[in-house]
């Protein structure tokens, strides 16, 4: 067997070096199905896109876990609740993700205490997203459908004044197709939208309209545990 012709897929545990990482999975693109998909699959994807913010914003939050402390562990939202996130829900959760007072109560105001060191800076999440954007503005080899941007950092390191370990990873490549010389505007548009939301948090970290979330407390079924994101 000619080993030079063997294609190998390598899998990486992105959080293997982390202790208690806060993680958010953000699915990018207003359309999440590839062109060659079946009608049934398109209908399934379109339903999810319409229920969430994919069509409206060009991205949607698919899941997250935010580390509180040793006593409270992680908290994350009920999957059914995440599916119905509004624009204001997305804005609020992106702020809570970098707050010292993040809690399951979506009516509480996030302080965005870690925004400048996690989202900002030369190696922060915004800088990494802008680097990814620059690549998508040039590359025409691939189109990425139903792919996610995974953002993560370690709160404990941030509290201790050390590097937050902020990282951005592109994940989920099951529906990547050939770009045939055309820019992937679907992914690029969603990425630019996400960048705008992150930039607004850095510009006005304390300006958030209080109690605009349309979901009542009972429906905000956020659970706290010490397990990783499912």
In the chain the beta strands, taken as DSSP E runs, fall at 21-28, 59-69, 73-77, 142-144, 148-154, 167-171, 176-178, 222-225
d(CA 149, CA 125) in angstroms, rounded, equals 11
Q: Where do the structural domains in the chain lie, given as residue ranges?
A: 19-208
Q: Which tokens go with 58?
A: 């060009």
pLDDT tens-digit profile, the chain (230 residues): 455 666 666 666 666 566 789 999 999 999 999 999 999 999 999 999 999 999 999 999 999 999 887 877 788 878 888 988 999 999 999 999 999 887 777 677 889 999 999 999 999 999 999 999 999 999 999 999 999 999 999 998 888 888 899 999 999 888 999 999 999 999 999 999 999 999 999 998 776 655 444 444 334 444 444 443 44
CB 187 within 8 A of CB 177: no
Integer distance in angstroms from the first to the last C-alpha of the chain?
A: 39
CB 166 within 8 A of CB 125: yes
Per-residue pLDDT reduced to its tens digit, 79-89: 888 988 999 99
Is the CATH code 3.40.50.740 the one for domain 19-208? no
Q: Percent of the chain at pLDDT above 90?
A: 61
pTM of the model: 0.84
In this prediction, residue 213 carries a pLDDT of: 44
DSSP string, 92-156: HHHHHTT-TT--S-TTSPP--TTHHHHTSSTTSHHHHHHHHHHHHHH--SEEESS-EEEEEEEHH
In this prediction, residue 186 carries a pLDDT of: 97
Query: Cβ–Cβ contacts within 10 Å for residue 182, how many?
Result: 9
In this prediction, residue 138 carries a pLDDT of: 97
SS3 state of residue 159: helix
Q: Which tokens go with 80?
A: 């059914």
In this prediction, residue 224 carries a pLDDT of: 44
């Amino acid at each position: 067997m000619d080993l030079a012709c063997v294609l190998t897929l390598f899998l990486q545990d992105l959080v293997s070096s982390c202790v208690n990482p806060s993680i958010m999975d953000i699915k990018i693109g207003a359309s999440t199905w590839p062109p060659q998909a079946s009608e049934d699959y398109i209908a399934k994807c379109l339903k999810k896109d319409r229920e969430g913010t994919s069509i409206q914003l060009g991205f949607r939050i698919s899941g997250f876990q935010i580390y509180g402390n040793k006593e409270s562990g992680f908290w994350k939202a009920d999957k059914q609740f995440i599916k119905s996130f509004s624009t204001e829900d997305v804005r609020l959760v992106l702020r809570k993700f970098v707050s010292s007072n993040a809690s399951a109560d979506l009516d509480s105001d996030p302080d965005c205490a870690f925004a400048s060191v996690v989202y900002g800076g030369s190696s922060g999440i915004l800088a990494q997203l802008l680097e990814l954007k620059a690549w998508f503005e040039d590359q025409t080899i691939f189109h990425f459908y139903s792919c996610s941007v995974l953002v993560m950092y370690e709160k404990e390191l941030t509290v201790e004044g050390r590097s937050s370990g902020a990282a951005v990873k592109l994940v989920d490549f099951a529906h990547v197709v050939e770009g045939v010389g055309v820019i992937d505007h679907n992914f690029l548009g969603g990425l630019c939208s996400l960048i705008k939301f992150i930039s607004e948090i850095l510009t006005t970290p304390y300006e958030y309209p209080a109690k605009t979330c349309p979901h009542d407390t009972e429906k905000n079924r956020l659970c706290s545990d010490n397990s990783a994101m499912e």
